[in-house]
Each structure stands twice: as structure tokens, then as C-alpha cells.
Amino acid sequence: MSFPKILHIGQPFNKKSGGGITISNLFKGWPKERLAVATNFNLSGNLDISVCEKYYQLGYNGKLHPFPLNVFLPKIQCGPYMTNINEDITKQKYEFKKSKFNNIYKLLTIFLNFIGVYNVLYKLKITPEFKNWLKAFNPDIIYSQLASLELIRFVSEIQDFTNKPVVLHFMDDWPVTINKPGLLYLYWKRVIDKELRQLLDKSSVLMSICDAMSEEYKIRYNKEFIPFHNPIDIKNWLPFAKKDWTIKEKFTILYAGRIGRGIEKSIVDISYAVNNLCNTHDNIVFEIQTLDISSLEKVIKFNNHVKWLKPIEYSKLPEKFSSVDLLVLPEDFDSDSVEFLKYSIQTKVAEYMISGTPIMVYADKQTALAKYAIKDGWAYVVTDNSKIALSKAIVQLYSNPLLRRKLSEKAIEIAIRNEDADIVRERFQQSFMIH
């Protein structure tokens, strides 16, 4: 097939974030020279240059951080980003400086949102330098995951400037959550909705993260959305799939991924349940593999039963996931979290499924995650926000090897049928054949 030249606005390719992993897997095999990224994310470190090597940093010259936020953050210069520099060292320096003023930065952001001026100050601009870079690349299609008002406006301006088709891909239901509390909340809510709908009308292809989101957005926006979430390379994962469901010395439960909005409270619940169960089941261990340790240390008691692990390379995940006894997919039950995650499917779902390790979903019954697991039977689902129900579920899975095997085999079957990257990528590539 003939691959169009795609310019990604916003989310870069990486093996760290959900959005980055998803596009890395969806665009794998696309000719590198026909992909480029222009982003306001800090590009230092964690880029997946196996998929794309052409990046443009929308940095300080393009108002990455407006005054007074730029006083407390590094002045990242915009321009073409060289992917052959030592990204790890750059990233370490950036994170050190950012963490030093992190609390001040957060408070300033909250204040600027509260008085209603953040969206006025924070603007991405098509600078003369970026315009020249854009003309040189000359994309056929503009692709973006959006997720902010400044990106809605920036993508719209680029579409006006280039007159090229736009493809939008929604990873979660951010349109209902990005507006922050403040004096002008209702005003900015109307602005975000109006400008998003205008961009939707200008777009050629619309994508969602799952069927549930496509159904909701059909009602909300009266538009058709094609669902695409993170696929898996079956041949890379299946050789590591679990084949023995007996417990060795420890019954190890694993959560791997981000901690934060919509996740943290449920992680705390699981930690609490495991710490309680250790009185009667001394060999149960809960491992939390994440970068986001600072917030957890304040709310979780780490010990021999609840442990923190540093993240490992993406290529080592198949072996890690199949080496444990239970994988957990938690989502918080409060109304804000349910609203945020209601139509989302976590990036790791397909990877968990193909690992052959049984999965426990701990989420509200309204969420797409819980509905998917219940409908196809690939996980043990706990939809009650109850530490007692959670503890009973863990004991049930701990004590029943036949149940663990049944869940695992079903998950592998569903993953092979629905999540095979070779099949998903072909459909994904075909969706860019815009005339």
C-alpha cells in the first residue's frame, strides 16, 4: 500500500505513556521517513525512535510555558529535535529542576485556572521556524490525540494553514474533564465544547479507544468514531505465556503502570487487602511496578507483602507478566474517576490478556473495562468498592487453580481474536486512505 505522510501533533512515540505505547504499536511498520511529530511534551528521553525519528520540540519560543510558569521550569528551546543526543542525561537534569519547583508550579497552575486566565496565557504558536519545518515535511495528514484546549486550537490552525485532512484519536473522555474549577468554569466549558465540535466538523477521520466510547460519542457528537486501542504482536508475547498455574513459594499479584488520576485509590485498596490477608495467607505479595512512587509512599505501607518495583524495559514485560500469579486492572470508584475512565480501555489490557496470567478487574460496573471483561469473561471482575469483596476475590483466585487457568485461557483466546497487531494495523492503515 502507499503510506501517506503523517504529522503527529502532541503525543510523541514512546514506550512509557499509554498514548505513546499505543501509537508506537499502531504505527509500527509505517515507513519512518513518512512520520513526524511536533509536540509540546518535553522530548528529553523515552522516545521510540524505532518507529519515528523526526521530531520538532514546540518549546519556549513557542510559549510552551507562559509567564509566570516559565520562571519555575526550564526554558526548553523549540526546533527540530536531534534524537542522537544522550537523552537519559538530559532527562535527568530536567526532572531534577522540575521537581525542585514542582509544588510552586502546581499551585500557580491551579491559581491561573481558578482566575480563568490559564487558557489565555497558554498558547501554542505557528512560529516562522515551525512553518518552514512544516512546509519541508509537507504532510499528507495531520493526526492528533488532542486532550487540551491549546492543542484543539493548534491543530485547527495547522489544518487551516496546510489545508490537509485531520485524523483525531481519543484515548479517554478528556472533553468532560479538562476544564478546571474556577471563576470562569462555565465560560471555558462552553468554549472547549464549541471549539472541539468545530474541529470535529473539519476532521476527515475520527477514532476512539474502544467500542463503548464510539457508541457514546455517536450520541454526544453525532459522529462515527472507529475504535482502535493498543494491539499486541502475538508472536512476541505468546512464547512467554503462562503454562503452569500452580503457586510456587509466593502468590504474587502485580500492577504495572501509572499511578494517579483514576487509579491511586484502588491501588491503595488492594494494598490494604493484601496487608490484611497476610495474617492468614503469609505467602501473598503485591508488587507495584511504577515510576509514580512519590504519591504512593504517603498512602501505602510498604513491607514484605506490598512492594514497589522500578519499571523495566518494555521488551521484558512479556516475561515479567507471565512470571507472576495474578495481574490486576484497578480503576477508582469515585464519580470524577468513573467519568474520566468510563469510556477508556487501559493500554496494558491486551498485554495482560496474552500473558496467560489470570487477571482481576477492580472497577465500577459502568466502565468500559468492567463491561468488556464481564461480556467476554477474560477476567475475574469485582465491581463493588469494598475491601471485603476485594479480599474475598483475592482468596478465591488464590485458592482455585482451575479458575485461574480457565480465566487465563479465555483471555489468551480473546487476545488472539481481537488484539492481534497484524490484523489491527492493517485496519488502522486503511483508515488513513483518505481521498
Q: What is the DSSP string of 67-129?
A: TTGGGSS--PPPEEE-TTS-HHHHHHHHHHHHHHTHHHHHHHHHHHHHTT-HHHH------HH
In angstroms, rounded to a whole number, what is the distance separating the alpha carbons of residues 411 and 413? 5
54 close to 100: Cβ distance less than 8 angstroms: no
User: Residue 7, CB half-sphere, CA atoms under 13 Å: how many?
Assistant: 23
Residue recorded with cell 509466593: 250
CA distance 402 to 348: 24
Check if 6-228+424-430 and 234-418 are the same fold.
yes
Smallest Cα–Cα separation from 15: which of 41, 39, 44, 47? 47
CA 210/CA 63 separation, integer angstroms: 34
Residues whose CB is less than 8 angstroms from the CB of residue 181 and which lie 6 or more positions away in sequence, other chains included: 113, 114
- Print pLDDT tens along the chain (435 aa): 689 999 999 999 998 888 999 999 999 999 999 999 999 888 876 788 999 999 999 875 555 566 666 676 666 778 998 876 444 433 434 343 444 566 777 788 888 889 998 888 888 889 899 999 999 999 999 999 999 999 999 999 999 999 999 999 999 999 988 898 899 999 999 999 999 999 999 999 999 999 999 999 999 999 999 999 999 999 999 999 999 999 988 999 999 998 878 999 999 999 999 999 988 998 999 999 998 787 788 788 889 999 999 999 888 999 999 999 999 999 999 999 999 899 999 999 999 999 999 999 999 999 999 999 999 999 999 999 999 999 999 999 999 999 999 999 999 999 999 999 999 999 999 999 876
Kind plus residue range of the DSSP H or E element containing 269: helix 264-277
Residues above pLDDT 90, as percent of the chain: 70
Q: Which of 20, 38, 16 is nearest to 95 (CA)?
A: 16
Cα dihedral across residues 109, 112, 116, 122: positive or negative: negative
Residue 289 belongs to what H/E stretch? strand 284-289
Instruction: Choose among 164, 367, 356, 187: nearest CA to 266.
Output: 367
Angle between helices 149-162 and 185-202 (to 10 degrees): 30
Residue 269, C-beta contacts closer than 8 angstroms, at least 6 positions apart? 330, 362, 385, 387, 390
Identify the helix (H) or strand (E) that includes residue 154: helix 149-162
Half-sphere exposure (Cβ direction) of 345: Cα atoms closer than 13 Å? 23
User: Among all chains, which residue has been given the C-alpha cell 484497578?
Assistant: 330
Count CB neighbours of 149 within 10 A.
19
What are residue 167's phi and psi, to 5 degrees? -120, 125
Question: What does the domain layout of the chain look like in residue ranges?
Answer: 6-228+424-430, 234-418
Question: By the 8 A CB rule, do 11 and 39 touch?
Answer: yes
pTM, whole model, 2 decimals? 0.87
Fold of 234-418: Rossmann fold (3.40.50)
Q: How far is CA 209 from CA 226, 258, 393, in A?
A: 8, 18, 28
Fold of the domain spanning 6-228+424-430: Rossmann fold (3.40.50)
The Cα–Cα gap between 65 and 123 comes to: 9
